[in-house]
């Protein structure tokens, strides 16, 4: 196991890489903690949860809503959870987003930690303190930014992760490489997904590199005034089509990255779209799809990151180097249209 501590504005986050789930009992007293997880994870790991009080959610983004929050709050009241209780989210991004949000508002705030169980959660969703729920078609419309106390990585939890979910997670890994880490981009080009699935040491290095890359970006800009915005690369269009077409997050982000690359080609002179498309395909992700460009533009314009009439688009200058450019809908629409067929 490797441990690492990083300080954020009001909180120190401890990272336990290559750890065992059982180590949780050393971090938190079982009698003053409540685990929040979902049915899939619970039924695949029943023995692990035996010593813990556990709230089990229905799995999936469709349940990342206020009704689920209401239900968790009722269960916490019934369990007698108080201000000294620690909540532990064990799951993918939906579980960690809801757990962080409930911990932020129950009795005006409890301590909390995460055990991410998907690649996506390990390298992205569980890091950075953004939490929340969806409201109608608007993803993460309600929530807050609040850091967990700890993140525990037990790679054995990935054994039951379907291949499609591995692929999903690699979209964010490719994103990190594209905006901040040209050497990792090259490393990814040199391997295939199977290598990371088989070689635990190779995987540990990749997870840690991504977790710390994202953590450092967040640490320097927790409240998204500057560099943290770069992490939205591929997400502006990605979010706009994800719910409408019931896409996986990874597929939506992959398509979004290719559109952002196309916009970059026009506005920054970025010239490596083909290289990005090749890597995206190498990890089983889609680079192009047919979608309704007009509808996507509409949703984009109601995104919470919009400020007045400008869309702050994350563009690439070259592999490993991203910039933010405020663009009007009129500047973006023709390129989105061209790439939507």
Contacts to a copy of itself by CB under 8 A: 9-10, 66, 70, 73-74, 77, 80, 82-84, 104-109, 130, 132, 135-136, 138, 140-145, 302, 304-308
Q: For residues 320 and 181, give the distance between their C-alpha atoms in angstroms, rounded to a whole number.
A: 5
Distant-in-sequence, close-in-space partners of 294: CB < 8 Å, separation ≥ 6: 337
Burial (CB < 10 A; 0-12, 13-18, 19+), residue 8, is middle
Q: How far is CA 160 from CA 45, 91, 119, 312, 316, in A?
A: 10, 12, 12, 38, 35
228 noted as active-site residue: yes
Residue 29 CB, nearest distance to a copy of itself (Å)?
12
45 noted as active-site residue: no
Query: With respect to a copy of itself, which residue has the nearer C-beta, 140 or 317?
Result: 140
Catalytic residue among 139, 146, 209, 228: 228
Distant-in-sequence, close-in-space partners of 27: CB < 8 Å, separation ≥ 6: 14, 16, 113, 150, 152
Catalytic residue among 210, 232, 242, 251: 232
Q: Within 10 A of 286 (CB to CB), how many other CB atoms are there? A: 17
Query: With respect to a copy of itself, which residue has the nearer C-beta, 76 or 257?
Result: 76
176 noted as active-site residue: no
Catalytic residue among 130, 208, 209, 229: 130
Q: For residues 282 and 305, give the distance between their C-alpha atoms in angstroms, rounded to a whole number.
A: 31
Q: How far is CA 319 from CA 57, 183, 237, 324, in A?
A: 40, 9, 20, 15
Residues linked to residue 324 through DSSP beta bridges, in sequence order: 314
Cα-Cα end-to-end distance for the chain: 47
220 noted as active-site residue: no
Catalytic residue among 5, 47, 78, 108: 108
Query: With respect to a copy of itself, which residue has the nearer C-beta, 133 or 258?
Result: 133
Residue 82 CB, nearest distance to a copy of itself (Å)?
6
Q: For residues 297 and 315, give the distance between their C-alpha atoms in angstroms, rounded to a whole number.
A: 17
Residue 147 CB, nearest distance to a copy of itself (Å)?
13
Which residue spans within 146-192 are E strands per DSSP? 150-152
Q: How far is CA 60 from CA 29, 98, 196, 220, 249, in A?
A: 29, 11, 25, 31, 12
274 noted as active-site residue: no
Catalytic residue among 175, 176, 209, 249: 249
Residue 81 CB, nearest distance to a copy of itself (Å)?
10
210 noted as active-site residue: no
Catalytic residue among 165, 172, 222, 272: 172
163 noted as active-site residue: no
Residue 340 CB, nearest distance to a copy of itself (Å)?
25
239 noted as active-site residue: yes
235 noted as active-site residue: yes
Query: With respect to a copy of itself, which residue has the nearer C-beta, 104 or 116?
Result: 104
Query: With respect to a copy of itself, which residue has the nearer C-beta, 106 or 233?
Result: 106
Residue 107 CB, nearest distance to a copy of itself (Å)?
4
224 noted as active-site residue: yes
* Residues with active-site annotation: 108, 130, 172, 214, 224, 228, 232, 235, 239, 249
């Amino acid at each position: 196991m490797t441990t690492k501590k990083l300080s954020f504005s009001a909180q120190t986050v401890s990272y336990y890489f290559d750890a065992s789930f059982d180590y949780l009992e050393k971090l938190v007293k079982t009698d003053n903690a409540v685990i929040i997880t979902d049915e899939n994870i619970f039924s695949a790991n029943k023995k692990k949860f035996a010593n813990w009080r556990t709230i089990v959610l229905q799995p999936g983004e469709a349940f990342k809503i206020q009704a689920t929050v209401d239900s968790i709050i009722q269960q916490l009241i019934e369990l007698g959870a108080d201000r000294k209780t620690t909540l532990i989210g064990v799951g993918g991004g939906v579980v960690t987003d809801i757990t962080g949000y409930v911990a932020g508002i129950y009795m005006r705030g409890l301590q909390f930690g995460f055990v991410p169980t998907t690649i996506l959660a390990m390298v992205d969703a569980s890091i950075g303190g953004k939490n929340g729920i969806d409201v109608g078609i608007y993803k993460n419309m309600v929530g807050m930014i609040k850091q967990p106390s700890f993140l525990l990585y037990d790679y054995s939890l990935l054994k039951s992760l379907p291949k499609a979910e591995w692929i999903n997670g690699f979209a964010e890994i490719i994103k990190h490489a594209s905006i901040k880490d040209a050497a990792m981009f090259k490393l990814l080009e040199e391997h295939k997904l199977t290598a990371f699935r088989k070689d635990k040491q190779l995987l540990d290095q990749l997870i840690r590199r991504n977790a710390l890359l994202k953590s450092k970006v967040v640490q320097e800009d927790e409240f998204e005034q500057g560099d943290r915005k770069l992490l939205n690369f591929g997400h502006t269009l990605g979010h706009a089509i994800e719910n409408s077409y019931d896409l996986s997050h990874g597929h939506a982000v992959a398509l979004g990255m290719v559109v952002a690359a196309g916009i970059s080609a026009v506005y920054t002179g970025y010239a490596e779209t083909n290289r990005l498309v090749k890597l995206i395909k190498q990890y089983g992700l889609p680079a192009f799809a047919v979608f309704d460009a007009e509808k996507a533009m509409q949703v984009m314009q109601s995104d919470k990151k919009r400020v007045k009439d400008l869309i702050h688009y994350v563009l690439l200058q070259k592999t490993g180097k991203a910039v933010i450019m405020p663009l009007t809908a009129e500047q973006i629409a023709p390129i989105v249209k061209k790439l939507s067929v």
